[in-house]
Amino acid sequence: MKELLRLPVTCNKDCGGGCPLIAEIRDGRLLRLLDNPLKPPAMRGCVRGYQMARTVYHPRRLRAPLLRSGPRGSGRYREVGWKEALRVVAERLERIRAAGDPQAVMRLGGSGSPRGALHNTDLLTKRFLSLFGGFTDLSGSYSAGAELFVNPYLFGPAHAGSAGIDAATLRHSRLILLWGANPADTRFGAELCTRIREQRRRGTPVITIDPRCSRTARSLSDQWIAVRPGSDTALMAAILYVLLEEELVDRVFVREHSLGFEALERYVLGRDDGEAKTPSWAGEICGTGRDVILRLARLYGKSRPAALIPGLSIQRTIGGEEAIRMAVALQTATGNVGVPGGSSGSSAWGRLPDPRCGRMTVPPGGPRPEVPEYRWADAILEGRSGGYPGDIRALYNVGGNYLATGSDVRKNIRAFAKVDFSVCHDCFLTPTAAHCDVVLPVTTFLEREDIVFPESNHLLYSHKAIEPVGQSRNDYDIFCGLADLLGFGREYSLGRSAGEWLECFLEESEIPDADEFRRTGIYSGPEQERCGLSEFAADPEGFPLSTPSGKIEIASAGYARLGFPAFPTWRGFRTGEEYPLYLITPHARYRTNSQHANDPWFVERETQLLWMHPRDAAARGIPEGSRVEAASPQGKLRVTVRVTEEIMPGVVCLLAGMWPEIGGDGVDTAGSANILTSTLPTQPSQSSRTHSVAVDVRPA
């Protein structure tokens, strides 16, 4: 038997983890993945990364390029060689470029490999299409669009990406509020769960605020406080009311570090509109008891420093922009910004500068008009006549599964059907790939070499552990081949192989010993307890922010020019008579977005169920374990129900990411949540509102 080989690798998935792992290989075959023993003690991998061998050797993994031989969506393809596949893609793209309209190609992408210095699906695709002559790009983000939009108004453009914390700073916290955050399932860094658990053992209260009792609420928290979807801003306003009434606001910090707090104070106390934002007022909106709000507010006001860690869920609602702005206002009011153990109230996964290291760049190229990512399907269907920059004729999709993870799946299918041509890079024939004309099989992180940026002050080296399965190729090599055919190969690659790019990136890095980095797989930045905005907090005049005032702008004149109040206000979402239930669509523990939804091992461990409170089930005559039909204005699906008190009354929950299975009657039978969601965005960010969905549920 050949010797066991152990190589450092890094999981490069879109969960924010970036976990340092060891791949054990024998005879060229991956045996298992486990935590890198040289990692910092708090870093932990998760089941999705440990079980990556199931993806690599999945029986339905693509092993050769595919050309469509049947109707879009039929799944009928024929296998071809790479030469023919690349020729077809190049010829179809060249027709568009020859017509003088390269921006008729829209870039789509997702979580194929979002954290690599080289093998980065976003950067590689943008580089290719930029040199191609231009393209239509997407602005914003499905995940964090509202937060990314408002942060520059709060902290200034130069500081919007520096308002996070290193998870190690939580050891100073006297209270941790996980507001719509579920790190036990969604990760947001390989250290966060460990740090929260350690601090809870030291006696720090940990409270989860969420419409459902998530795994985080059960395993990491002392208390679960239920709140209706989209009402977080109202609950925060009521907490601020109590802080103001009981003189728990840090007036000195507010005066020295913020602008516009007085306007927010007048709103909260009801001096402008005559309606004080009391716990009783919020209780009616949030479904959260008045006394619960009072106790939470007093504990928060007296526990300093306190870390308010928002999940992305609270900004994926109608008015989600205001939830982030109000969370920042709360942390500012209590002096918790920029201090160890505190947080800014924004930046759910700790946005802080990465260690210095080179990475792939996007050169200037042809025109690059943008459409909001949440409206990509509308831009295709409506085009120039609908007010969008142009008419889209082709889609280039790398690592995205929009026909499962994009809102309003049926609309997305119509968008793919309308274009003349579409190409997809993926490991599987996903629902999205099945609506493309050409599907190109790509490698996983285990079949290529890269440098990975995790959500912490580290760099991770990921070795090539095994040879590519079948004819799979790296995205970089695919684009090099296409660029050669289209006449800009030299400009795309600069004559460098993938390995030569990595050498260049290391030369630009702060890493003192590249050989040691490759051996261990881990480089730790010198400071592991960074607290974003700490210099500003300590000396606001000496280190002003990049806002017009140099301070945190609780009230922003620039934001007001968009047609919304300058300070955060509650403008939430209400259900109606026809669709009376709120639907939330959280991420699953065993899926990264839609990845693993086609693997029985993962599916069996997290059965797709619609959570419903016993009161709502009884009112509809729905017994536990029965099949139900959930409907919204966008579509219908049938799924098995779980009747449980771990979801608050009036709310139902269906985990996101299942691949749809739409029957001839147009009804999905897999429980794909985005059958029910809408592409009508929250404003002004034009971002996701997938937790502001009204549905009705009946026996199937």
- Dump pLDDT digits (tens) for 304-322: 999 999 999 999 999 999 9
pLDDT at 1: 63
Confidence of residue 17 (pLDDT cuts 50, 70, 90): confident
- Long-range CB contacts (< 8 A, 24+ apart) of 92-98? 92/394, 92/420, 92/421, 92/423, 92/437, 93/132, 93/394, 93/421, 93/482, 93/486, 94/486, 96/393, 96/394, 97/132, 97/133, 97/486
Is residue 151 scored above 90 in pLDDT? yes
Share of the chain above pLDDT 90, in %: 94
Q: Compute the average pLDDT of residues 662-677.
A: 96
Residues 6 or more apart whose CB falls under 8 angstroms from that of 469 comprise 56, 57, 61, 63, 443, 447
Q: Compute the average pLDDT of residues 79-90.
A: 98
| Residue 400 token pair | 């995205």
User: Is 477 strand, coil or helix?
Assistant: helix
pLDDT at 349: 61
pLDDT at 307: 98
Residues 6 or more apart whose CB falls under 8 angstroms from that of 370 comprise 136, 137, 138, 139, 389
Look over the chain and give the mean of its residue pLDDT values, rounded to a whole number: 96
pLDDT at 18: 82
Buried b vs exposed e over 130-161: b needs ≥16 C-beta within 10 Å?
Answer: bbbbbbbbbbbbbbbbbbbbbbbbbbbeebbb
- Give the start-to-end residue ranges of the domains of the chain: 77-135+367-452+469-506, 148-352+530-560, 581-699
Note the pTM of the prediction, 2 decimals.
Answer: 0.96
581-699: CATH class = mainly beta
CB 222 within 8 A of CB 207: yes
Q: What is the pLDDT of residues 193-243, one digit of tens each?
A: 999 999 999 999 999 999 999 999 999 999 999 999 999 999 999 999 999
User: Phi and psi (nearest 5°) for 295?
Assistant: -65, -40
Residues 6 or more apart whose CB falls under 8 angstroms from that of 512 comprise none
User: Measuring CA to CA, which residue among 37, 28, 21 is closest to residue 3?
Assistant: 28
Q: What is the pLDDT of residues 625-647, one digit of tens each?
A: 999 999 999 999 999 999 999 99
CA atoms within 13 A on the CB side of 504: 15
Is residue 366 scored above 90 in pLDDT? no
The CATH code that applies to domain 77-135+367-452+469-506 is 3.40.50.740
| Residue 668 token pair | 């999905």
Confidence of residue 181 (pLDDT cuts 50, 70, 90): very high
Q: Compute the average pLDDT of residues 683-693.
A: 97
User: Measuring CA to CA, which residue among 159, 190, 176, 182 is closest to residue 314?
Assistant: 182
Q: What is the pLDDT of residues 350-359, one digit of tens each?
A: 679 999 999 9
Q: Compute the average pLDDT of residues 408-429.
A: 97
Q: What is the pLDDT of residues 234-273, one digit of tens each?
A: 999 999 999 999 999 999 999 999 999 999 999 999 999 9
Q: Compute the average pLDDT of residues 683-696.
A: 97
pLDDT at 188: 83
Return the bridge partners of 369, or none: none
Is residue 121 scored above 90 in pLDDT? yes
pLDDT at 189: 86
CB 233 within 8 A of CB 323: yes
Is residue 549 scored above 80 in pLDDT? yes
Check residue 610 and give left, alpha or beta (phi > 0: left; psi -120 to 50: alpha): beta
pLDDT at 115: 87
User: Is 685 strand, coil or helix?
Assistant: coil
Distance CA 138, CA 402 (A): 13
pLDDT at 15: 77
148-352+530-560: CATH class = alpha beta
| Residue 391 token pair | 């008419």
Q: What is the pLDDT of residues 551-587, one digit of tens each?
A: 999 999 999 999 999 999 999 889 999 999 999 999 9
Confidence of residue 348 (pLDDT cuts 50, 70, 90): low
Distance CA 278, CA 294 (A): 9
Q: What is the pLDDT of residues 463-522, one digit of tens each?
A: 999 999 999 999 999 999 999 999 999 999 999 999 999 999 999 999 999 999 999 999
pLDDT at 111: 66
